[in-house]
Amino acid sequence: MTTTPTIEVRDFRMRFGDQVVIDDLSFEVHAGETFGLLGSNGSGKTTTIRALLGIYEPTAGSLLVEGRPFDPALGSRLGYLPEERGLYRKESVLEVMTYFGRLKGLSHEAASSWSKEYLRRVDLADHAKVRLDKLSGGEQQKVQLGVTIMNAPSILILDEPTKGFDPVNRRLLMDLVDEQRAQGSTVVMVTHQMDEVERLCDRILLLKDGRAEAYGTLAQVQDSFGGRRMRLTFSGVLPASPNYRVAVSERNYAELELADGVEATTVVRELLDAGVQLRGFETARVSLEEIFLKVYGEKAVAA
């Protein structure tokens, strides 16, 4: 039995004037998964989300949520965290969160109670009565995330959710997102933070200039960009070999890209026979950061 994808994009094309921003893009997001929509700045990620939510009218193609074009009536089941913050900045944190909770169908008491517990969770309990515009950018982002998830949406779309966060708060947000997925939400993450994707996402789509550069599970995408790696710490000189390609080389560290069908044990024996002293090794797939570098270049990773 075939189930309808939670999100389905088919032959999507978006043109602004003479500029083609999205070109014949197709992908699906399945119920209950966390899906990563990746790309450098200007690759078309946010444009795709805005067209999906009916903010933009597509030039061609179809974008469906639960089998039909986006309907505002779906809003009670969908949480959207835009890249730009859009809360009432002159009101207190608790007032803003409670107000949006009421809009989402919660009672005043339930919205206030949920908000207080959430603020405690994200270390903002002592900011509940502070005006929103007095908070830092990262603190405002925490508040906006709370507004997004407070009605336990079945579909959660997050556009650059950790923008402005330090590593500790990024980890906190990832934990919150993981909890939403564990509770049954379908999550779409628009990001270029590769560690977030590797930790959270089941499948991914890499966009470049409005076209799909890669699409599938993490393993499928990694295998399509070089497959298996060996990471070594060693002393000596690595010999040339048809069994591997040296992808990364430093003084006492290297990453070897294994040839098709070659086992790690074969390479270990070869290195030992050549007099290389191995202090440690592990096998792994090529990282998403390396894939991102191959597709978008170093400048895009630094952006």
What confidence score (pLDDT) does residue 147 get? 92
> How big is the chain, counted in residues?
303
* pLDDT top residue among 254 and 289: 254
Q: Tens digit of pLDDT for each residue in 208-221? A: 999 999 999 988 89
Q: Tens digit of pLDDT for each residue in 35-65? A: 999 988 888 999 999 999 999 999 999 999 9
What confidence score (pLDDT) does residue 298 get? 58
Tell me: pLDDT of 2 over 50: yes
Q: Tens digit of pLDDT for each residue in 231-247? A: 999 999 999 999 999 98
Mean pLDDT across the chain, nearest whole number?
89
Q: Which amino acid belongs to residue 222?
A: Q
What confidence score (pLDDT) does residue 53 get? 93
Tell me: pLDDT of 105 over 50: yes
Of the chain, the percentage scoring pLDDT greater than 90 comes to 58
Tell me: pLDDT of 299 over 70: no
Q: Quote the Cα angle for 58-63-66, to 5°.
A: 155
Tell me: pLDDT of 151 over 50: yes
Question: pLDDT grade, residue 197 (50/70/90)?
Answer: confident
What is the reported pTM? 0.81
Average pLDDT over residues 168-183: 88
Question: pLDDT grade, residue 301 (50/70/90)?
Answer: very low
Give every CB contact of residue 129 below 8 A, 6+ residues apart in sequence. Answer: 92, 93, 94
Give the domains, in start order, of the chain with CATH numbers: 7-222 (3.40.50.300), 228-285 (no CATH)
